[in-house]
Amino acid sequence: MHFASWAGLWFGLTLPTILLLYILKRRYTDTPVSSHLLWNRVLRESEANRPWQRLRNNLLLLLQLAAAALLVLAAMQPFIYARGAAKGHVVIVIDRSASMTASASSLPTGNSSEAGSGGGAPGSTEDDAVSRLKEAKRMVLTDWGSPGRSRITLISMGAEPQILLTEEKSSSKIKAAIEGITPSFGKIGYKETMSLAAALTAKEDDGEIVVYTDGQWPESADGLPFHVPVRVKQPGAGIIDNLSVLQFGVRTGTTSSGEEATLSAIAAIKNEATAARSFSLTVYAGKTPVDSREYKLGPGEQAGYSFEGLPAADYYKLQMDSGDGYPLDDSLYAFPGETRSKRALLVTEGNLFLEKALQLAGTEVTKAAPSDTPPSVKGDLDFIVLDGFQPADGGDAWNTLLASKPVWSIASDATGTPTAISDDDAEITTHPVTDHIGFAETHITAVRSTETPTWGKALVSVGGVPLIIGGTENGQRRLLFTFNLHESDLPLRPEFPVLVQNAADWLGASSAKALGRETAGAKLEIGVSAKTSAARWVTVENKGDAGTAAPSEVAAETVNGGVASTQTVPPIPGLYRFEETETDGTVRSSFLEVIADPAESALANRTGLSVGSTTADGEGLSEGGAGSDNGNGSSGVSATVSPDGTGQPGSSAASSDSMGVDRSRLPLIQWFALVAILIIFVEWGVYRRGNSL
């Protein structure tokens, strides 16, 4: 038996107090007197009794001491460790990532740990259409639908962890919260969720964390200090036999006479199944099927397929029918590219490297000197490049033109004197302009000191000094280089043409009819026109089931009364149209394909799941593994699930269902208090009747 509060031992002073009361109890003795007339009550009270006496067998005393001792033990909160006993506080974490929508029907027979605890065995007729998430919800209801003495905290994994219940004991509320969980198709904050669970149990003496997940985590949750045991339960933990569409695109060719040819499409398919699989590919022009073919791929094989002579359409769709358990990666959309090259106005005193790089990027360049008035350009400009030109010096004509177009400024908006930079490694933010850019061994003589403008953020910086800044101002994209290309060796680096290509594609994207492809729930920069008064997302097609279908339309996000240039991508995979309504009633629309996080599609490349590896004081785990006591009342926990999903012990942890020492504190305080109360009733009866029962 153990005690949770040694402070209750102070109540043990009641035991000697009871003994002292019996020792000091007045005891009268027989005293012969000559006459009762001489009786003196006061004298008898003071002289005919003894304040101290020897303790004798007294049932009343023994009962009082027993009751007091039991109450003292109850105040010390006694408990015993019991294997499988319910915890006082249970934090339940439910993984609702895209991979949890995979169907358990395609799991290999007998290769699923935990699935049977939630209902029928995987592979049975009952489970044929059950996704991992549905199975996980069923398992949670089976395990915790009636929580007993446990207090349930429920956390769902999403882009950010969400606490659905806090220390709840109501079965109806637990059931309602679990049934309301829906899949999240974007990037999942695995480590953030487990960090929150660890924080909620940091001061718990009687708690545990139970994670319901398929174990397919693209990011690691190692290094988190857990103070309570962690258990991982895997619904449908086997490997999914999956075929996926890796790429799909369309292109327009031209004939020898320069005339436009019909479109062709190219697709790449990969079979991650353990056996050869047959499948069909259907190409849609809009919503009309135009070509369908049957193919077969061996295990682990990848192949490309082409489709010629496609009719003109606003968008194209490739649909694969393979019957696998993960349909989210069975289709992709493609959009016809621009048939003309982008047009740019280059304002410079002379920069041959920049001019040639723009031309290599497929951009028609019109040059102008800073002293010139804005030249007339045949056709519409896609963006303007200012090489060392200050917009404020150009006059009203330049200012009007620059306000209406995306602008790339090179050491022009920056103010101050040139400042040499250190040789520190560049800090690069993920952005379309910085794709495939490393700035390795790039030397810049000086950077013109500047604060990051309110419209942008630093895309590349060194030692806190911004080198490249990107953003949107009044609906137009802006790109700023805070250094002069002539004062660096960047134009001589192999990545310079790539950087210029990225910049041209990003700046000229506002004229395209499609916004491309983006992960659900991500942030997307859109070149919103300054004339736009309202905008909305319109659902063209979505991949959600009946429980996760996207609404037909959703208003676009606004800021300061206008349409925001940074929008949150719709949360359900599918095809959407971003419609902008201008002040004159003109409606512009751009297509966007929303996909589930591609990292969730690697269903065959699962690695061992490791959750936490350090104790509360930063020390490594003791040899006992997960849940071993580190001597200060806390436990370091390492939960590991083997890659095959069978829940076999890993190198540093127990099985997936026990995850260390699967035991809990079973409190005894109520039993000690109950026995003490019974003894008090017996003592009362003895007091009424004397020393015998």
The pLDDT tens digits for 163-201 are: 999 999 999 999 999 999 999 999 999 999 999 999 999
Stated pTM of the model: 0.60
Neighbours of 129 (CB within 10 A): 10
Task: Band the pLDDT of 141: cuts 50, 70, 90.
Answer: very high
Q: Which amino acid is located at 518 in the chain?
A: E
| Better pLDDT: 56 or 630 | 56
Mean pLDDT (the chain, rounded): 76
Q: 256-273 burial by CB neighbour count: b if 16+ within 10 A, else e?
A: eeeeeeebebebebbbbb
C-alpha 286/C-alpha 317 separation (Å) is 7
List the structure tokens of 573: 């995979």
Q: Is the pLDDT of residue 5 over 70?
A: no
Q: Residues 118, 94: contact at Cβ < 8 Å?
A: no
Neighbours of 589 (CB within 10 A): 15
| Tokens 């005690």 found at | 3
- Number of residues written out for the chain: 693
| Better pLDDT: 637 or 566 | 566
Please report the pLDDT score of residue 670 as a whole number: 77
User: Phi/psi of residue 188, each to 5°?
Assistant: -105, 135
Task: Band the pLDDT of 618: cuts 50, 70, 90.
Answer: very low
Instruction: Choose the weakest-confidence range: 51-65, 163-177, 664-678.
Output: 51-65
**Coil/strand/helix, residue 406:** coil
**Coil/strand/helix, residue 599:** helix
Task: Band the pLDDT of 623: cuts 50, 70, 90.
Answer: very low
| Better pLDDT: 103 or 499 | 499
HEC letters along 316-359: EEEEEECCCCCHHHCEEEECCCCCCCEEEEEECCCCHHHHHHHH
Please report the pLDDT score of residue 568 as a whole number: 93
* For range 210-232, the mean pLDDT: 85
Residue-wise pLDDT tens digits, 438-494: 787 788 888 876 678 888 888 988 888 888 999 888 778 889 998 888 888 888 888
Task: Band the pLDDT of 673: cuts 50, 70, 90.
Answer: confident
Please report the pLDDT score of residue 655 as a whole number: 36
Judge residue 480's burial from the number of C-beta atoms within 10 Å of its C-beta, 0-12 exposed, 13-18 middle, 19 or more buried: buried
Task: Band the pLDDT of 118: cuts 50, 70, 90.
Answer: very low
First to last CA, the chain: 33
List the structure tokens of 354: 């920049």
* Closest to 339 measured CA to CA, from 453, 251, 232, 458: 251
Percentage of the chain with pLDDT > 70? Answer: 70
C-alpha 639/C-alpha 302 separation (Å) is 35
What would you report as the CA-atom Rg of the chain, rounded to the nearest whole angstrom?
A: 38
How many CA atoms, within 13 angstroms, populate the side-chain half-sphere of residue 567?
A: 28
C-alpha 608/C-alpha 614 separation (Å) is 17
Q: Is the pLDDT of residue 318 over 90?
A: yes
C-alpha 610/C-alpha 629 separation (Å) is 19
Q: Residues 247, 240: contact at Cβ < 8 Å?
A: no
| Better pLDDT: 349 or 255 | 349
* Closest to 1 measured CA to CA, from 110, 66, 82: 82
Task: Band the pLDDT of 569: cuts 50, 70, 90.
Answer: very high
Quickly count helices (H) and strands (E) in the chain. 10, 40
Q: Is the pLDDT of residue 558 over 80?
A: yes
List the structure tokens of 216: 């397919």
List the structure tokens of 524: 């997307």
Q: Is the pLDDT of residue 518 over 80?
A: yes
Task: Band the pLDDT of 297: cuts 50, 70, 90.
Answer: very high
| Better pLDDT: 638 or 514 | 514
**Coil/strand/helix, residue 117:** helix
* Closest to 86 measured CA to CA, from 691, 678, 673, 665: 665
Please report the pLDDT score of residue 212 as a whole number: 93
Q: What is the DSSP string of 526-564?
A: ----TTEEEEEEEEEEE---TTTPPPSEEEPPEETTEE-
Q: 647-668 burial by CB neighbour count: b if 16+ within 10 A, else e?
A: beebeebbbbebbbbbbbbebb
**Coil/strand/helix, residue 291:** strand
Task: Band the pLDDT of 225: cuts 50, 70, 90.
Answer: confident
Q: Is the pLDDT of residue 427 over 60?
A: yes
* For range 14-23, the mean pLDDT: 68
Q: Is the pLDDT of residue 365 over 60?
A: yes
Judge residue 494's burial from the number of C-beta atoms within 10 Å of its C-beta, 0-12 exposed, 13-18 middle, 19 or more buried: exposed
Q: Is the pLDDT of residue 152 over 90?
A: yes
